Amino acid sequence: MADALVTAAPTSVRRKSLVGTFMFAHFTHHVSNSMLTPLLPVIRDGLSLNYVQSGFLVSAFSVSQGLSQAPIGVLADRFGGRTVLVLGFVATALCMVLIGLAGEYWQLLVFLVGLGIAAGTYHAPAAALLARAIPKEQLGGALGMHTVGGNLSFFATPLVAGGLVAMTLTWRTPYLAFAVAPFAAGLLLTTMAPRPQRMNGPANYGGALREIRGVFRVVGPLLSLVILFQMTYAAIVAFLALYLVDVRGFEVTAAAVVVSIPFVGGMVGSPLGGFLSDRFGREPVIVASLTALGPLLLLLTLVPTVLVIPVLFAMGLVASTRMPVVEGLLLDRAPVERRATVLGAYYLVAQEMGGLAAPTLGALSLAVGIAPAMGGVAAVAAAISVFVLLVHRRL
C-alpha cells in the first residue's frame, strides 16, 4: 500500500509531533507562493506590465499548480507521499532561485509555471498522510491546525519580503533569500514523515478515476459552489495589492503588508472551522462560510478605507473556516488507498478555476477600471451567497 497505509497507529505524542511537522512544512511550502501577490505592484512597475500581464503571472503559477495536482496525487498513492513531498520541496527551492534571477517577463512566466508544478506536490500527499495518522473524530481539528501553518506563512512572508524589497530596492531578493526554506522542510520530512509501504502491483488508474467520480457525485453540488467561491476569492486576493495601491491610495510597501491581513484572520478561522466540523459536521460549516463570504467581499469595495483592514480580517477568517473542512469532507468519503488521488482531482479543478479567474479580472480591470471590476465581481459573489442561504438544505 501507499504511505496512506502506515503499519502502526501513532501514539498521541507522535500525532502531535506529526501535526507540528506538517504545520512547519505547510509554512515553508507557502513561503514560495505567498510573495507574488504582495510584490505584484513592484514587479509590475519593474517590468512595465499592464493588468492583463499581471494577471497572467498569477495564472502561470495557479494553472500549472492545478494541472499537476491530480497526477501527483496518483503518484503519491502509488510511490509514497513522503518521497513526493521531499522531491517537491527541492524543486521548489530551485525554482525560487530561477525566479529571482529572471531577466525578462517570459522567463518569469516560465519559472512560475515550474514553481506551480513543484507546489502541486504538497497539499494532497500531506493531507492524505495526516488522515491516516489522525482519528476521524479529530481530523478536522488537525487539518485546521495544519492550515494555520500556511496562513502564518501568508501573513509573515510578505512582511519580511516587503522589508527586504525596501532595503534592496528589488523584488528579486526575497525569492533568492527564502529559497533555503523549502530545503529545510524537505530535510525535516525525510526524518519525521511516516515511512510508507509501497502499493503492490500495477496502479489501477481506471479504478481511481471511478472512485473520484463517486466521491464527487456525493458532494458535487456543494463542491461546485465551493469551487465557484474559491475562483472568485482567488481572483480578488490576486489583485488586492494592485487595488489597494491604485484605488485606495496605499503606498506599495504598505499594500504588501495589508494584503497579509486576511491570513491573520485565517490563523483564527482554520482551527475554528476544523473544531466545529468535528462536532457539528463538515457540511454545515462549509455552508456557513459560503453564506458569509460574498457579503464580506462586497463590503471590501464599499467601506471607507479606514475600515478595509477589519473587513480583510473578517474575509480571511470566514474563507479559512471552509478550507480544512472541505479537505476533511473529501478524506471522509474517499477510499483510504486513493485519498491523495481524490484530493489531487479536487485541487486540480479548484486551482484551475482560480487561475483562470485572475487574467479574466485583469482584462475586466483593463476595460472598465479596477474599482468597477472588483465591485462587480464582489456583487456577484454576494448574490451567490444569498442563493446558498436559500437552497442550503438541498445541498
* Predicted confidence (pLDDT) per residue in 356-390, tens digit: 777 788 888 888 999 999 999 999 999 999 999 88
Going by pLDDT thresholds of 50, 70 and 90, the confidence category of residue 202 is low
Residue with cell 481530523: 139
Q: What is the mean pLDDT of residues 48-62?
A: 81
In a domain? residue 7? no
In a domain? residue 161? yes
Give whichever of 53-57, 123-127, 301-305 has the largest mean pLDDT. Answer: 301-305
- The whole-number pLDDT of residue 204 equals 52
Going by pLDDT thresholds of 50, 70 and 90, the confidence category of residue 219 is low
pLDDT at 47 over 80: yes
- The model's pLDDT over 127-157, given as tens digits with 9 standing for 90+, comes to 888 887 788 788 888 888 888 888 888 888 8
Q: Which has more pLDDT, 60 or 299?
A: 299
- The whole-number pLDDT of residue 190 equals 81
- The whole-number pLDDT of residue 208 equals 53
Compute CA distances 329 → 18, 104, 215, 253, 283, whole Å: 21, 42, 10, 39, 8
In a domain? residue 139? yes
- The whole-number pLDDT of residue 37 equals 77
- The model's pLDDT over 221-240, given as tens digits with 9 standing for 90+, comes to 888 888 888 888 888 888 88
Q: Which has more pLDDT, 145 or 336?
A: 145
Q: What is the mean pLDDT of residues 284-313?
A: 94
**∠ at Cα 354 (181, 90), nearest 5°?**
20
The cell for 241 is 495589492
- The whole-number pLDDT of residue 157 equals 84
- The whole-number pLDDT of residue 337 equals 75
Q: What is the mean pLDDT of the chain?
A: 82
**267 is in which domain, residue-wise?**
12-193+201-394
- The whole-number pLDDT of residue 5 equals 43
In a domain? residue 5? no
Task: Report the C-alpha gap between 375 and 372 in whole angstroms.
Answer: 5
pLDDT at 355 over 70: no
- The whole-number pLDDT of residue 381 equals 92
In a domain? residue 103? yes
In a domain? residue 6? no
Share of the chain above pLDDT 90, in %: 21
In a domain? residue 2? no
Scanning the chain, the segments in alpha helix (DSSP H) are: 12-31, 36-47, 51-79, 81-101, 105-119, 123-133, 136-168, 172-177, 180-192, 205-238, 240-246, 252-258, 261-280, 282-302, 308-333, 339-368, 370-391
CATH of the domain at 123: 1.20.1250.20
In a domain? residue 275? yes
Please give the tally of structural domains in the chain: 1
Compute CA distances 143 → 115, 126, 168, 207, whole Å: 24, 10, 37, 27
Going by pLDDT thresholds of 50, 70 and 90, the confidence category of residue 66 is confident
The cell for 230 is 474559491
Going by pLDDT thresholds of 50, 70 and 90, the confidence category of residue 299 is very high
Q: Which has more pLDDT, 378 or 241?
A: 378
Task: Report the C-alpha gap between 194 and 201 in whole angstroms.
Answer: 21
Scanning 169-204, the segments in alpha helix (DSSP H) are: 172-177, 180-192
- 8 Å CB contact between 169 and 354: no
Going by pLDDT thresholds of 50, 70 and 90, the confidence category of residue 169 is confident
